[in-house]
Chains A and B, each alone.
Chain A
Amino acid sequence: MIILKEIELITGTEAIIRSLEKEGVKTIFGIPGGAVLPLYDELYDSDIQQILTKHEQAAAHAADGYARATGKVGVCIATSGPGATNLVTGIANAYMDSSSIVALTGQVPRNMIGNDAFQEADITGITIPITKHNYLVKTAEEIPRIIKEAFYIASTGRKGPVLIDLPKDVTTEMLEYNPPKKVELPGYKPTIRGHPKQIHRASELIATAERPVIFAGGGVISSGAHNEVVTLAELIPAPVVMTLMGLGTIPANHPLTLGMIGMHGTKYANYAVTECDLLISIGVRFDDRATGKLESFAPNAKIIHIDIDPAEIGKNVRVDVPIVGDAKVVLKDLIKLVKSKARKEWEDKIQRWKREYKLTYEKSTSTLKPQYIIEKTSEIAPDAVITTEVGQNQMWVAQYFKFKYPRQLITSGGLGTMGFGFPAAIGAKVGVPDKTVIDFAGDGSFLMNIQELATAVDFEIGVKVFILNNQFLGMVRQWQELFFNKRYSNVCLRCKGMEFARIAEAFGGTGFEVTKPSEVEETIKEALKIDDGPVVVDFKIAREENVFPMVPAGAAINEMLG
């Protein structure tokens, strides 16, 4: 007797949808176009929520914001050619901040690849340096395996973006659907557990240190190691400084937090790092904005570096005890070996610095101070998820918002992408709909993805945009003021009286304008009441307010202005 095996043939697009569903994808951000017409046709009948952004860059940022807010993989889709190239900034941004996104791009049919066909771009070639990995799918048979691998790569080890390029005729080809049970990648085996000998050496250094400091970065957030960091800090005890990406590791009201280090960090954080004799660095990459002049960075300290990416160890600074592994797993092991020890002199010094060098700004009852707006927001909406744009707005938020928990701050740290915050806020709000999501924007940054107001209106996404509007590219102006003799070249965005509140209304959202400090609190409360569409609050702030303290580029972090 011959038994015929039952073979199930499906189209490439159906395999894509099934594979995405298997990965637990609930939402995608994207824009259709010629090469992804078959895919969007399949999506038309799918339960996956589809957010149609108005620019592909915003789709990538929204997927990134979604990923960071939820800890899941964000997914974006764009068509071939310009659709795909518009994703590039968003992918580079996710790469620099190690954010898990999977980008699906359309491609021209296989027989036309390389012929400069209409809307053809070599997107796999273009994105090699800015993706953790990418794929050009050659046959429909490969789709289930590639999608499974892509999600695995994006969400494990040091996280990052993965791009899958799908030629149009591959998506319409039939295949036998046999989803793989597991991923087999001989060249990809992230180290999770730290080496016991190294962890032991780290505990010995901690035991003998007189002036220890914990230095926490984005890797702590990504690994979910925040509780372990706080436990370790309380156990040693040691104060905690954070990078921009690490904010939220330890609550802002915790006695051991010193806030952010670096160019616009707190003085006491920078002093502590400069004077410490042991720097316990966790999930950081010693970026120049955090370290300042490398030769003067933690000059008296032994350095422990815990990171999941071996290539980060020894890249910028020499390390005494490297530990490759997942921060949470390594810290759990390390905590078992650490004993408490009072270091009164160091603790007193830290507390004295904290009192003496408090973050401060000149208060005003007549002009709007951005710091005041952020402090008020932090009081009124302490649990809100905050996204930022890039520039002064970002630094003021890092300094004055009292972050309580990890993933509360979503910001473009590595690439420094203006225009990131608003679409990222949309993605975050879709991911955590029950939370208040606020994008602190500058007027310059907001203009870079302002079209997404239409998306927020269409899909009734209740994001708030608080524009700290100084009618300048503020951070550039600040540098021109300090280092270029106040020659304000190309930074004035007065635009003959643009009204952001009316722009928001014209899109179908809600707009407020605030000019006086007395209106701040009430307007924030009004804005927070609206949750079925975007709210833009245009705060007309003091135009030449600067971000201080500040370490000039190339200086040591304890040489601060302001």
Chain B
Amino acid sequence: MAVLVENKPGVLARVAGLFSRRGYNIDSLTVGVTDNEYISRMTIVVEGDEHVLEQVTKQLNKLIDVIKVSDLKPVETVERELALIKVKAEPENRSEIMLIVDIFRARIVDVSPKSMIIEVTGDEDKINALTNLLRQFGIKEMVRTGKVAMIRGPKIVEKKK
């Protein structure tokens, strides 16, 4: 779901706290400012049936700092995630790693004698697939942003509640 909130201190704590308090699990949560500097947008991935999602939406709407909550259905949504993966890169493996990176349209953003950092953007499956392939070389460290999402077509998540 996409949640527009006032860009104020403490808003993240209110939103995140609500999930744990009401017994809902967050799979991922990302937050960043929108083109309006007073408004931030959160993308939250929640598992649950329709009843749970309805309650989450209503409870989020009750928070004064929450301006708009939209349920983004996976089929109508573009989802993207970014990951940085630090992989062991001995000289004998480098070309193979570079080949894999190329196939996935990922990028190498840092190289050192024993490691590389790979940046990849895509949906969850793509990042999982790349991670699985790189595992054979040894993943030293990995960080994922969590999903951001946007509705396909002209429809937008508007400010009005």
Contacts and interface: CB of A to CB of B under 8 A. Distances in A.
B1 interface: no
Nearest to A187: B67
Nearest to A311: B58
Contact of A133 (B17, B21, B64, B67): B64
Interface stretch (A124-132, A172-180, A440-448): A124-132
Contacts of B13: 125, 128
A157 B9 CA distance: 25
B146 to A, nearest CB: 23
Nearest to B4: A187
A186 interface: yes
Interface residues of B, number: 22
B64 A310 contact: no
A189 interface: yes
B58 A187 contact: no
Contacts of A124: 10
B54 interface: yes
Given A314-B51, A315-B55, A187 B14 contact: no
Nearest to A189: B161
Interface string B35-73: 000000000000000010011001101111111000000
Contact of B59 (A132, A133, A189, A311): A311
Contacts of A310: 58, 61
B126 interface: no
Interface string A177-195: 0000000011111000000
A97 interface: no
A309 B13 CA distance: 22
Interface in B119-154: none
In this complex, which of A136, A188, A189 has the most chain B Cβ atoms within 10 angstroms of its Cβ? A188
In this complex, which of A128, A189, A313 has the most chain B Cβ atoms within 10 angstroms of its Cβ? A128
Interface in A397-452: none
B123 to A, nearest CB: 31
A153 interface: yes
B6 A186 contact: yes
19 contacts: A125-B13, A128-B13, A128-B14, A129-B21, A133-B64, A136-B9, A136-B10, A153-B64, A185-B64, A186-B6, A186-B67, A186-B161, A187-B6, A187-B65, A189-B161, A311-B55, A311-B62, A313-B58, A314-B51
Given A124-B10, A311-B61, A315-B55, 4 more contacts: A129-B17, A133-B63, A136-B9, A188-B64
A32 B66 CA distance: 34
Interface string B2-13: 000110011001
Contacts of B58: 310-311, 313
Nearest to B5: A187
B99 to A, nearest CB: 50
Interface residues of A, number: 19
B159 to A, nearest CB: 7
Nearest to A162: B64
Contacts of A311: 55, 58-59, 61-62
Contacts of A133: 63-64
Contacts of A125: 13
B161 A187 contact: yes
B17 A187 contact: no
B60 to A, nearest CB: 9
Contacts of B159: 186
A13 B96 CA distance: 69
Nearest to B68: A187
A313 B57 CA distance: 12
Nearest to B161: A189
A362 B119 CA distance: 80
Nearest to B66: A187
A132 B61 CA distance: 12
A404 B105 CA distance: 75
Nearest to A153: B64
A276 B71 CA distance: 36
Contacts of B64: 132-133, 153, 185, 187-188
A129 B54 CA distance: 19
A44 to B, nearest CB: 33
A193 B103 CA distance: 58
A314 B161 contact: no
